[in-house]
């Protein structure tokens, strides 16, 4: 069964318009935006969203037993249906379905079934109804809560020159930050420590000063003693 053939819930308190139901139950998810943009449809969606949520609630064990009771009579399951274990299989498998989906599945099986149904057979028939109903409830809520995008007026927008100045300032700040990070990450090599004599002068410095005539050459015996 396709979503196009799933009829809307027909209750005394909830009878959606054909236009709204088609947008809720069929087509792409963008349909909820179409509902939100038409005031009459949005108002209708807002008024029925809670009813749809209630219709999506799980049927529960007692509803499952009541829905399948006519099939017990039709297919002669009287004695077997008196066992709690018999019903537990069905309530566990079908209890999460919405009541409308369950009722419609049982009604369809009455027309097509030849034996008492297995839980999976009823669930397969109920699934399209449950999925469409849940989708409709979701779209109604989203459409009702949808708020149009707020756009800035011309008066609230920054002039183009101001935007460009802010962007240029931001780029300049980022460039300075990048230079600072590179400086921090740069490894500083320690300067080598030269050996010095008893006067606190290194051999290289003494040789340079001797060549320039600034000091007298150091006697050879002092070098040997050193």
Nearest alpha-carbon partner for 24 in 1, 59, 60, 53: 53
Phi, psi of 5 (to 5 degrees): -95, 0
Tokens of 133: 């109903």
pLDDT of residue 147: 87
Give 67 or 169, the one with higher predicted confidence: 67
Reduce the DSSP state of residue 225 to 3 states and report it: helix
Contacts for 166 with CB less than 8 Å, ≥ 6 apart: 158
Chain mean pLDDT for the chain: 82
The pTM of this model reads: 0.61
- Residues 3-32 have pLDDT tens digits of 445 777 776 667 889 999 999 999 998 998
């Amino acid at each position: 069964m396709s979503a196009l053939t799933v009829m809307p819930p027909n209750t005394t308190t909830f009878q959606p318009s054909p236009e709204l139901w088609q947008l809720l139950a069929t087509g792409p998810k963008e349909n909820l935006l179409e509902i939100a943009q038409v005031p009459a449809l949005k108002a209708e969606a807002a008024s029925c969203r809670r009813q749809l949520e209630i219709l999506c609630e799980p049927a529960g064990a007692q509803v499952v037993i009541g829905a399948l009771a006519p099939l017990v009579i039709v297919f002669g399951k009287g004695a077997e249906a008196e066992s709690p274990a018999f019903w537990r299989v069905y309530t566990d498998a079908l209890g999460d379905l919405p009541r409308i989906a369950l009722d419609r599945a049982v009604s369809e099986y009455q027309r097509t079934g030849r034996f008492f149904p297995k839980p999976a057979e009823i669930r397969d028939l109920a699934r399209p109804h449950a999925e469409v109903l849940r989708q409709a409830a979701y779209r109604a809520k989203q459409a009702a809560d949808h708020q149009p995008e707020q756009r800035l007026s011309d008066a609230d927008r920054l002039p183009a020159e101001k935007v460009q100045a802010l962007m240029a300032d931001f780029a300049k700040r980022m460039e300075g930050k990048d230079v600072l990070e590179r400086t921090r990450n740069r490894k500083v090599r320690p300067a080598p420590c030269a050996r010095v004599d008893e006067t606190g002068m290194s051999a290289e410095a003494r040789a340079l000063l001797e060549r320039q005539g600034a000091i007298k050459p150091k006697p050879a015996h002092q070098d040997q003693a050193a």
